Amino acid sequence: MNILVINSGSSSLKYQLFKMPEKAPVCSGLVERIGIEGSFIKHTVYRNGEKHSIEESGFIANHGEGLKQVLTLLTQSEYAVINSPDDITAVGHRVVHGGEHFTGATLITDEVKKQIKKLFSLAPLHNPVNYKCIEVAEQTFVNAKQIAVFDTAFHQTLPEKAYRYAIPEWYYKKHSIRVYGFHGTSHKYVSEQAIKWLNQENSKIISIHLGNGCSMAAIKDGKSIDTSMGFGPLSGLMMGTRSGDIDPSVIFHLMEHSGYTLDQLSTLVNKQSGLLGVGGSSDMRDIRKLLSEGNAAAILALKLYAYRIKKFIGAYAAVLNGIDAIIFTAGVGENDSNMREAVCTELDYLGIELDPDQNIAYKGELKEINSASSKVKILVIPTNEEYEIAHQCYGLLD
């Protein structure tokens, strides 16, 4: 059977088609820089052990538009991989916020769509886009099963002391206000790879997912026990356009003294902050270019970004009472060796020592980049949320 997976992130749309149960990728691709200048699509097909890619550029305003172009590539291009929409048995969708309702892969019904919609305001950069992709897929693949896999699911193992906020219980009981955590599919996938690599069931791992959205997870014996994002995908690390942790007093101050509305405040912390707000672009590649021109704002943005990650490594070393491995993953984590170096500098007290040559030598497959004397393994592991989603969808259908 063919399972198509659609992973819409805040700045990108990734997709992969898998032949199951062989777990063989038939094609994969990504639409990048959605909504900003320089959008492009890269579509790759795998045939007879060889890879063939095509790239298309041209501004793509939103994820719905991106997905429609992807569907044309899948069905009508030189590198088409299906003859008819009926060749797809199931479409697996990454859905970012599942609230307390969903813990595993879930068949999408009208009721499930209603719940995803209810959570729009908690994940404003994601759930509306995930919903749109479900609608486009339902219209295109009318006979396929549509399945959701939630970012929040992996973090359902958080202990109460980690998932409860220090506010009256009523807000948890009545309004479900608690830490949910995100990027769970990615943290799960890379930590399982790390556990296999370490060959150690009982392990203390810190997973650092640095994409457009960024989060970290403390993972003990394969289970998430703490994570940096919270009620929504906004707290914790500095991100592409999101502020990460910010004292709520700032919000009260802007409301009281500058008359900011709810919308303006949400736009500020979700869309105008992070790398964009401090450094001038939401895209790390642009920030690196600005840095090479000596741009002071870009220098500051990079310092803040690395410093926040370092602080969470310290916190999670304490929470786990030790560390066996830290993992760098996602767009920045996998591709930006300078950021990995900035994060790992002066962490020898915790037993974290980078090997600069190994760090630079990373080429897209799981790699150890620590020095020989480092007590902690430093791993770069390419995430594969699409694979994990396909695997979970297959489990549900089977």
Ligand X SMILES: CC(=O)OP(=O)(O)O
Active site residues: 151
Cα→Cα distances 391→296, 304, 385, 396, Å = 45, 37, 10, 9
Size of the site for ligand X (CB under 6 A): 11
Residue with tokens 């942790």: 245
Beta bridge partners of 375: none
Q: Write the CB contacts of 74 (distance below 8 Å, at least 6 apart in sequence).
A: 4, 17, 27, 80, 81, 82
Helix, strand, coil percentages in the chain from 3-state DSSP, rounded to 5: 45, 20, 35
Among 269, 278, 306, 330, binds ligand ADP (CB under 6 A): 330
Q: Can you give the C-alpha Rg of the chain in angstroms?
A: 21
The interface mask with ligand X, positions 174-193, x = CB under 6 A, is --------xx----------
Q: Under the criterion CB under 6 A, does residue 274 sit at the interface with ligand ADP?
A: no
The DSSP secondary structure of 13-73, one letter per residue, reads: EEEEEEETTTTEEEEEEEEESTTSSS-EEEEEEEETTEEEEEEEES---SHHHHHHHHHHH
Q: Measured from the CB of residue 339, what is the shortest distance to ligand ADP in angstroms?
A: 7
Q: Under the criterion CB under 6 A, does residue 388 sit at the interface with ligand X?
A: no
Q: Write the CB contacts of 46 (distance below 8 Å, at least 6 apart in sequence).
A: 24, 25, 26, 27, 28
302 in a labelled binding site: no
63 in a labelled binding site: no
Which of the choices ligand ADP, Mg ion, ligand X, none does residue 182 contact, using the CB cut-off of 5 to 8 A by kind?
ligand X
364 in a labelled binding site: no
Interface of this chain with ligand X, residues 80 to 139, rule: CB under 6 A: 96, 126
Burial of 391 (0-12, 13-18, 19+ CB in 10 A): buried
Q: Measured from the CB of residue 7, what is the shortest distance to ligand X in angstroms?
A: 8
Q: Under the criterion CB under 6 A, does residue 25 sit at the interface with ligand ADP?
A: no
DSSP code for 87 = G
Q: Under the criterion CB under 5 A, does residue 230 sit at the interface with Mg ion?
A: no
Measured from the CB atom, is 151 or 283 closer to ligand X?
151
Q: Under the criterion CB under 6 A, does residue 335 sit at the interface with ligand ADP?
A: yes
Interface of this chain with ligand X, residues 52 to 91, rule: CB under 6 A: none
Q: How far is CA 24 from the centre of its chain?
A: 23
Measured from the CB atom, is 155 or 288 closer to ligand ADP?
288
Which residue stretch of 204-212, 269-277, 332-340, 365-373 sits at the interface with Mg ion (rule: CB under 5 A)? 204-212
Count the neighbouring beta carbons within 10 Å of the beta carbon of residue 218.
26
Which of the choices Mg ion, ligand ADP, ligand X, none does residue 232 contact, using the CB cut-off of 5 to 8 A by kind?
none
Show the CA angle centred on residue 187, arms to residues 181 and 190, nearest 5°: 180
Q: Under the criterion CB under 6 A, does residue 9 sit at the interface with ligand ADP?
A: yes
Q: Measured from the CB of residue 166, what is the shortest distance to Mg ion in angstroms?
A: 30
Measured from the CB atom, is 85 or 240 closer to ligand X?
240
Q: Under the criterion CB under 5 A, does residue 211 sit at the interface with Mg ion?
A: yes
Interface of this chain with Mg ion, residues 8 to 27, rule: CB under 5 A: 9
CA atoms of 207 and 216, how far apart (whole Å): 5
For 103-258, strand residue ranges (E) read 106-107, 145-150, 204-210, 214-220, 223-227
Which residue stretch of 7-15, 218-226, 263-271, 361-369 sits at the interface with ligand ADP (rule: CB under 6 A)? 7-15
Among 211, 230, 244, 333, binds ligand X (CB under 6 A): 211
CA atoms of 378 and 396, how far apart (whole Å): 34
Which of the choices ligand X, Mg ion, ligand ADP, none does residue 190 contact, using the CB cut-off of 5 to 8 A by kind?
none
Size of the site for ligand ADP (CB under 6 A): 17
Measured from the CB atom, is 144 or 309 closer to ligand ADP?
309
Count the neighbouring beta carbons within 10 Å of the beta carbon of residue 23.
12
* Binding-site residues from annotation for ATP: 14, 209-213, 283-285, 331-335
List interacting residues with ligand ADP (CB under 6 A).
9-12, 211-213, 240, 283-285, 288, 330-332, 335-336
